[in-house]
Amino acid sequence: MSRRRCNVRASKWVLTGLGLVCLAIWAYAATHWVGVRYPGWSIKFSTGAFHFNLYRRVLSKSSGPPNWSHQRMPLQIEIMPWTYGVFWGQQYRGYVAVHMPLWIPFAATALPACLLWRLDRRRYPKGHCRKCGYNLTGNVSGRCPECGEAI
Ligand SMILES: [Zn+2]
């Protein structure tokens, strides 16, 4: 097997694995609410997205252990690529929120993975070993001298 093909095959599997991990996190975030809240900021996974909130002014001065939350939610998937802005809440005078829908990391790994699967399936030209691509012109043994594949 050529070195380049070997690299394609390795990256193909790495990207496929990463894509599946991203898909699992995305699916989990679409059906759950998981988050941790500190007095000045919070992160959470919900509605199929990653959320980071920065509270500009904390009205309640309570400090203490972070407030972990985890619960099942009905399926909800955020599609909008980026939302960013200052929002007004009951508890806070305005906070900065950054959302990243989790289809983005999924697409960023799954699309190149699909490409590599296609690339890896591409056949070698006629007259070459279909396994390793070795040029078999003039070969009469019926076996590839490079990898031993039957012709
Ligand atoms: Zn071969």
How many domains would you assign to the chain? 2
Same domain, 99 and 145: no
Mean pLDDT value across the chain? 83
Q: Is the pLDDT of residue 111 over 90?
A: yes
* 146 Cα to the center of ligand 1, angstroms: 5
Q: Locate tokens 């699967």: which residue?
A: 117
Residue 73 belongs to domain spanning: 3-119
The predicted model scores a pTM of 0.67
CA of 140 to the centre of ligand 1 (A): 14
Expressed in angstroms and rounded, the spacing between residue 114 Cα and the centre of ligand 1 is: 25
Q: Are residues 110 and 138 in the same domain?
A: no
What's the CA-to-centroid distance between 122 and ligand 1, angstroms?
A: 15
Does one domain contain both 92 and 146?
A: no
Residue 139 has pLDDT above 60, yes or no: yes
Q: Are residues 76 and 95 in the same domain?
A: yes
One domain for residues 35 and 85: yes
Measured in Å, residue 1 CA sits from the centre of ligand 1 at: 7
Burial class (CB within 10 angstroms; exposed 0-12, middle 13-18, buried 19+) of 19: buried
3 CA to middle of ligand 1, Å?
A: 13
105 with 130, same domain: the answer is no
Q: Judge if 147 and 105 occupy the same domain.
A: no
> Does residue 31 share a domain with residue 67?
yes
**Together in a domain, 110 and 135:** no
Shared domain for 109 and 43, answered yes or no, is yes
My answer on whether 23 and 96 are in the same domain is yes
Q: What's the CA-to-centroid distance between 134 and ligand 1, angstroms?
A: 5
- pLDDT tens per residue, range 88-104: 555 555 677 788 889 99
Alpha-carbon distance of 48 to 60, in angstroms, equals: 29
User: DSSP 3-state helix, strand, coil percentages of the chain (rounded to 5)?
Assistant: 30, 30, 40
Which range is most confident: 87-96, 123-132, 134-143?
Answer: 134-143
Residues 38 and 59 in one domain: yes
- Extended beta strands in the chain, E state: 32-37, 41-46, 49-55, 67-72, 83-87, 95-101
Query: What's the gap in Å between 132 CA and the centre of ligand 1?
Result: 4
Instruction: Give 63-91 pLDDT, tens digit per residue.
Output: 556 678 889 989 988 877 666 555 555 55
